[in-house]
Chains A and B, each alone.
Chain A
Amino acid sequence: MLDDSRRFAEAVSAAGGDVRLDVYEGMPHAFHATVLLPDLPPVAVTLMRRIAEWADGTATTWTSSSVREPPLGRAVAVLLVTRATVAGHERVRVRLARRDDTEPRPRLYRHAVTERARRVACMALRPVQVNIKALDPSAVGRFWAEALDWKAYSPGVTTYVGPSDDPVWPDPDPVAVGINVVPVPEPKTTKNRTHLDLATTSAAHQAEVVARLKALGATPADIGQGDVPWTVLTDPEGNEFCVLESREVYRDTGPIAAVVVDCVDPRAMARFWGEAIDWTLHEVTDDQATLRSAKGGGLYLEFLRSPGAKTVPDRVHLDLLPYPGDDRAAEVARLRALGAVDVDLGQGDVPWTCMADPEGHEFCVLAPS
Chain B
Amino acid sequence: MNVTRLPSTPGDSAEALSRLMTLHASPPELPGDADLTPVLPHTGGVPGTWVTAGRAAVEKGVTVYLHGGGFEYTNPHAERLMAHRLSRATGRPVLAVDYRLAPAHRYPAALDDAVAAYRSLLGQGVPASRWARRR
**Residues of A near any B CB (own CB < 8 A):** 6, 9-10, 13, 18-28, 30-38, 41-44, 46, 48, 50-52, 54-56, 58-72, 74-80, 88, 91-93, 95-101, 105-106, 108-109, 111-114, 116-118, 120-122, 124, 267-275, 278, 280-281, 284, 289, 294, 334
Contact = CB atoms under 8 A, between A and B. Distances in A.
Nearest to A274: B45
A296 to B, nearest CB: 13
A330 to B, nearest CB: 12
Contacts of B48: 108
B24 A95 contact: yes
B3 A23 contact: yes
Interface residues of B, number: 80
Given A51-B89, A109-B38, 18 more contacts: A9-B1, A22-B4, A27-B13, A30-B20, A33-B82, A36-B23, A36-B27, A36-B82, A62-B130, A72-B128, A75-B128, A75-B133, A95-B75, A111-B37, A114-B39, A116-B58, A121-B40, A274-B120
Contacts of A120: 40, 58, 124-126
Contact of B6 (A25, A55, A65, A280): A25
B19 A70 contact: no
Nearest to A278: B41
B44 A275 contact: yes
Interface in B15-37: 15-17, 19-24, 27-28, 36-37
B134 A79 contact: yes
Q: Which residue among B8, B17, B42, B116 has the maximum number of chain A CB atoms within 10 Å of its CB?
A: B42
Given A59-B130, A280-B38, A41 B19 contact: yes
Given A68-B123, A284-B45, A23 B6 contact: yes
Contacts, number: 262
B108 interface: no
B44 A271 contact: yes
Contact of A34 (B16, B38, B46, B60): B16
A97 B75 contact: yes
Given A70-B129, A96-B75, A21 B4 contact: yes
Nearest to B64: A75
Chain B's interface: helix, strand, loop or mixed, by majority?
A: mixed
B129 A76 contact: yes
The 4 lowest CB-CB distance pairs between A and B, nearest first, are A271-B45, A270-B45, A55-B90, A274-B45
Contact of A37 (B8, B23, B76): B23
Nearest to A114: B37
Contacts of A117: 38-41, 58
Given A75-B131, A76-B133, A97-B73, A19 B2 contact: yes
Given A35-B85, A120-B58, A271-B45, A93 B134 contact: no
B82 A274 contact: no
A64 B127 CA distance: 9
A26 B14 CA distance: 10
Nearest to B125: A64
Interface in B43-83: 43-49, 58-61, 63, 68-70, 72-76, 78, 81-82
B109 to A, nearest CB: 9
Contacts of B78: 33, 36
A294 B128 contact: no
A74 B133 CA distance: 12
Contacts of A27: 8, 12-13, 16
Contacts of B88: 48
Interface string B107-129: 00000000010101011111111
8 contacts: A26-B7, A26-B10, A27-B16, A37-B19, A58-B129, A63-B59, A66-B125, A280-B41
